Amino acid sequence: MSNISQIEKKIGIKFNNKDLLQQAFVHRSYLNENRGFKLDHNERLEFLGDACLELVVTEHLYKNYPNPEGELTNWRAALVRGTTISKVAKTLGFEDYLLLSKGESKSIGKARELILANTFEAVLGAIYLDQGYEVADKYLKKYLIPHLKEIISKQLYQDSKSRFQEVVQERTGITPVYKLEKEEGPDHAKTFVMGVYIEDKKMAEGVGASKQAAEQEAAKMALEVWEKDI
């Protein structure tokens, strides 16, 4: 359990039930190769953590910003998206404690980002169960919510897909089209690759855990290409 005490030190929370924290780091693939392992995988904790994350962030935005609902929704989406929370998980060193199959342990890029984001939510779910809402709230205000300032100041909350369509239509009168290039992985952890096209010209590709996320990523990459070409 030495790993657990290390994680507790990193996040500054001492657990009553150490197994809850350990379970938060167990990926489904690990159990396929370690059938006698005493704990379940982390997907139920992730489910709970996702709901807790939405509530804490929503409450913080409501209490601290008088902005319209639409703006708050966009800010929240940017703060709780996988890319943001996976960065926080990486900063906290969660990657060192993941329990993965040999195959998954070699995953990089978007696949690893998704695993880290899910682990962050699972840890939050474990904190909520073991320590209650107030500790979960403090945890997010310490590690995640400080990223909100940058999201607002750099306008990172903008919807890349809408922005790209607006820019392209304004300059060419053409509406970008998104096509599924490929999908891979098991049903519980699929990744999608979407291409964005202007007429027959492919502008960029994006990868995500859903087609919508992959489209957003493709639009983000296409915006960068578009701005370089101008």
Side-chain half-sphere CA neighbours of 103 within 13 A: 8
Beta bridge partners of 191: 184
How is residue 174 annotated by DSSP? P
Cβ burial of 91 (10 Å; 0-12, 13-18, 19+) is exposed
Amino acid identity, position 135:
V
- The secondary element (H helix, E strand) that includes residue 201 is strand 201-208
Q: Is the dihedral of CA 67, 70, 76, 78 positive or negative?
A: negative
Q: What is the dihedral of CA 192, 195, 196, 201, to 10 degrees?
A: 180
Beta bridge partners of 201: 198
Active site residues: 50, 121
Closest Cα partner for 229 from 151, 167, 163, 155? 167
Judge contact between 163 and 223, C-beta under 8 A.
yes
